[in-house]
Amino acid sequence: MIKTIETLDEVMNFALELSNDDFYASYPRMKSISEIKEEIEKSIISEVANVIACYKEGLLCGVCAYYWDLDDKYAQTTQFLIKEFYDETAEEIIFYIKDEFIRNELKGYELLIGVPVTNKNANNYFVKNNIECSESSFDTRLYNLNINSKQKHNCIEKITEDTFDEYAIFHDNYAIPSGMYYNSKNLKKDMKEFQILAFVKDGSIHGSIFTKAFKDMLEVFGVFIDDEHKKKGIEGMLINDMLIHLYNEFGSVNEIVYFINEGCDEELKAALDSGFEINDNYKSYKLSL
């Protein structure tokens, strides 16, 4: 039985217990009481979010909090926590969400569900049911940015409005095919929020990295290098100069978030060598509603 949750007390203890257990947690991780409380309460009152629970013979088996974006037409879980009867409970929750979107005539949406790799039950369920894995990444973080060396590389250049059109060609050729959300048009529109660095050789751009400033932290949106220049240490050069530029502009930043796709070993090594730490390893699954 699926029930729409209206009060925090109905699911708080369940969500807190499972969120702090690697074998049951969902992604993004929420471990503290305040984090979980805020997320569930926000989802209960929002007009574009919901919290549901699955019961079997009176036993609470699963809790799911999710929201949907009307502009980009996707839904995403913020809590997908299942303890008992995993396959049956997951199927019932997903079926309910699909039915809800049909009832409300929300067509063409995709549902994204994130889980850490340690949640074997979840990953086995999605693989067994041939649900597309849209992302498999390391969530890395750097805390309290401090620079030991301020030596920049001459081949790394900061992209400005005057040089953006040249960069746009490289960006759309190498960043977009990797699944990057920002195409050059959107990136240029929001350029004041970004710092873009490029690796330049013989007058041509062969690599880039860019970051965005948020209220309380910075996020790296990836390293992109053409095939000819991969595995030549350019990842480390771009990350090094990025951190120097960020330190010069923002000082000792509390937190920098950097998602790195599994399989990008050179990029991951360069990030770890630069002071980033692995916070989590997760997969995101996508299905049509």
- pLDDT (tens digit, 9 = 90+) per residue, 269-284? 999 999 999 999 999 9
Write down the pLDDT at residue 179.
Answer: 65
* 38 close to 54: Cβ distance less than 8 angstroms: no
| Homologous superfamily, domain 2-130 | Gcn5-related N-acetyltransferase (GNAT) (3.40.630.30)
Question: Boundaries of CATH 3.40.630.30 in the chain?
Answer: 2-130, 141-281
Question: Of all residues in the chain, what percent carry a pLDDT higher than 90?
Answer: 84
- In this prediction, residues 162-179 reach a mean pLDDT of 88
- In this prediction, residues 217-242 reach a mean pLDDT of 92
CA 185 to chain centre: 22
Confirm whether pTM is higher than 0.85: yes
Instruction: Tell me the pairing of strands 218-225 and 194-201.
Output: unpaired
Name the residue with tokens 């926590």. Answer: 81
Of 179, 253, 254, nearest to 221 by C-alpha is 179
Rounded to an integer, what distance in angstroms lies between the CA atom of residue 58 and that of residue 40? 21
Please tell me the least confidently modeled range out of 12-16, 129-133, 146-150, 256-260: 146-150
Q: What string of DSSP letters covers the chain?
A: -EEE--SGGGTHHHHHHHHT-TTT--BS---SHHHHHHHHHHHHH-TTEEEEEEEETTEEEEEEEEEEETTTTEEEEEEEEE-SSHHHHHHHHHHHHHHHHHHTT--S-EEEEEEETT-HHHHHHHHHTT-EEEEEEEEEEEES---S-----TTEEE--TTTHHHHHHHHHHHTGGGT-S--HHHHHHTGGGEEEEEEEETTEEEEEEEEEE-SS-EEEEEEEE-GGGTTSSHHHHHHHHHHHHHHHHHSS-SEEEEEEETT-HHHHHHHHHTT-EEEEEEEEEEEE-
Write down the pLDDT at residue 31.
Answer: 87
Query: What mean pLDDT value characterizes the chain?
Result: 94
- For the stretch 176-205, pLDDT in tens is 876 677 888 888 888 888 999 999 999 999
Question: Of all residues in the chain, what percent carry a pLDDT higher than 70?
Answer: 99
- For the stretch 49-77, pLDDT in tens is 999 999 999 999 999 999 999 998 999 99
Residue 154 structure tokens: 């001459």
- In this prediction, residues 240-248 reach a mean pLDDT of 94
Name the residue with tokens 């059109």. Answer: 165
Q: Quick check: 83 pLDDT over 90? A: yes
Q: Which CATH architecture has domain 141-281?
A: 3-Layer(aba) Sandwich (3.40)
- In this prediction, residues 238-248 reach a mean pLDDT of 94
Write down the pLDDT at residue 178.
Answer: 66
Write down the pLDDT at residue 152.
Answer: 86
